Amino acid sequence: MTAPSSGAGGGNLGRDLAGSESTSPTGEPPTPDEVRARLRGVVDPELGDDIVELGMVRRVEVGDAGDVHIEIALTIAACPLRAQIERDVRGQVATMPGVRAVELSMAQMDAEERAAVMARSRWRAREHAPDTAVPPSARVLAVGSGKGGVGKSSVTVNLAVALARRGLNVGVLDADIWGFSVPRLLGMEGAVEARAGKMVPLERQVGDGVLRVLSMGFLAGEDRAIMWRGLVLNRAVQQFLQDAHWQGIDYLMIDLPPGTGDVQMGLARLLPRTELVIVTTPPLAAQRVAARAADMARRGYLRVTGVVENMSDFTCEHGTSYPLFGSGGGARLAAELGVPLLGSIPLNPDMAAAGDAGQPVALGEGALAVVFGDLARTIAEDVAPLLEASSCTARLMERLEAAAGGARAQGADDPADALGVAR
């Protein structure tokens, strides 16, 4: 037999003839479409979908004598699942009636093919998200940035406090497992208790609202390093989302670690309704890094809600403003992403002092409290308002009743006709 070509794009990884010796076929050879249908039974365990749907089956040819030639494109040359995929392909096709021999050639995907496969995998993960303890009615806002040092945790905590001051119940999840800081910023400490096998978030009353907080800082000492990687990190976040009492919250604020790593990707899989608030500072360098965080979110099919610019102009006691780190970075990033600039937070030493004392500035009445109050209003009233399913249902019922009455008045047999609903 002649070796099949590698196809357009990726390189040929070589032909594997093991197990392709001739047998005595029974019946007519299958068609290429029938072979492809059988190959849907081969699932890539890492990507969680069959190799046909993932576009890994580049070519199928069936000869008159029942010889089947199949070209499989792997995501990378050193794919650790290559042997398993080869074995499963042979097992599926060799047992088909009319097949005399199976010959495989393994190729490597090009960049465009890999991008399509990963997009398909992320979408499938979104469509098959596991259940969590977060109420379906709660809005989930993850606060992220591409780098550390931009004040992301301070923004998370103060925005949560400002939302709670509006009389809302706000959950705060410190997903920065390595660099947790939420407990200190909120002045909270204590052991996390379990009830009915689930963690009970620590609470802090804020006006008419309440904060419910979970952090690795409540489970480990503040000076203790958390040396976890990959799957262990994701498992910790998963437990915070699935094995905790989050019922009754209106918003869940998630403080993400810097960058675009395991926790961010795991969150897109666990809570695909998460919306991302991007925090940046005025300099162009910070803006470009923050743009990567937004790109990660959109590749994971998460909505980017808007941009918050932190550490903008510094105003001295004489009232003169100085753009110490430049100006306009937040507005530029928001325009580039096509999302609103939710607010700009001035550079003010009170922010750090309040965080060290565990009394966020949003609890007070000063200028920074006003800024975060405005930011909370924008979130709650404009870009991420609470979903009132009951009122939507009530309006729908009113419309149906009105349409039914109008249909009866016009002699229509079916109220759906008055609504223009297709049958």
Give one DSSP letter per residue of 193-261, joined into a string: EEETTEEE-EEEEETTEEEEEEEGGGTS-TT------HHHHHHHHHHHHHSB--TT-SEEEEEPPSSSS
Backbone Cα Rg of the chain = 28
Structure tokens at 285: 């360098």
What is the per-residue pLDDT for 408? Answer: 46
What ranges in 309-365 are assigned the alpha helix state H? Answer: 329-337, 349-357
Say which CATH architecture domain 12-127 belongs to.
Answer: 2-Layer Sandwich (3.30)
Domains 12-127 and 139-383 share a fold: no
Quote the CA–CA distance of 28 and 187 in Å, as a whole number.
75
Handedness of CA 358, 364, 368, 374 (dihedral sign): positive
Quote the CA–CA distance of 339 and 360 in Å, as a whole number.
27
Low-confidence spans in the chain with pLDDT less than 70:
1-25, 45-46, 48, 122, 124-130, 222-223, 227-231, 260-261, 387-423
Q: Please give the DSSP secondary-structure letter assigned to residue 66.
A: S
What is the per-residue pLDDT for 19? Answer: 41
Dihedral angle, C-alpha 182, 186, 191, 193, nearest 10 °: -90
Angle (CA) 275-278-282 rounded to 5° is 165
Quote the CA–CA distance of 84 and 106 in Å, as a whole number.
13
- 179-209 pLDDT per residue, tens: 789 999 999 999 899 998 899 999 999 999 9
Nearest to 171 by CA among 142, 144, 131: 142
What is the per-residue pLDDT for 126? Answer: 60
- 242-286 pLDDT per residue, tens: 899 999 999 999 999 887 667 787 787 788 888 899 999 998 888
What is the per-residue pLDDT for 390? Answer: 43
What is the per-residue pLDDT for 170? Answer: 97
Quote the CA–CA distance of 50 and 52 in Å, as a whole number.
6
Handedness of CA 22, 26, 32, 38 (dihedral sign): negative
Could you tell me the residue ranges of all domains in the chain? 12-127, 139-383, 389-418
Quote the CA–CA distance of 226 and 232 in Å, as a whole number.
11
Which CATH number does 139-383 carry?
Answer: 3.40.50.300
What is the per-residue pLDDT for 85? Answer: 87
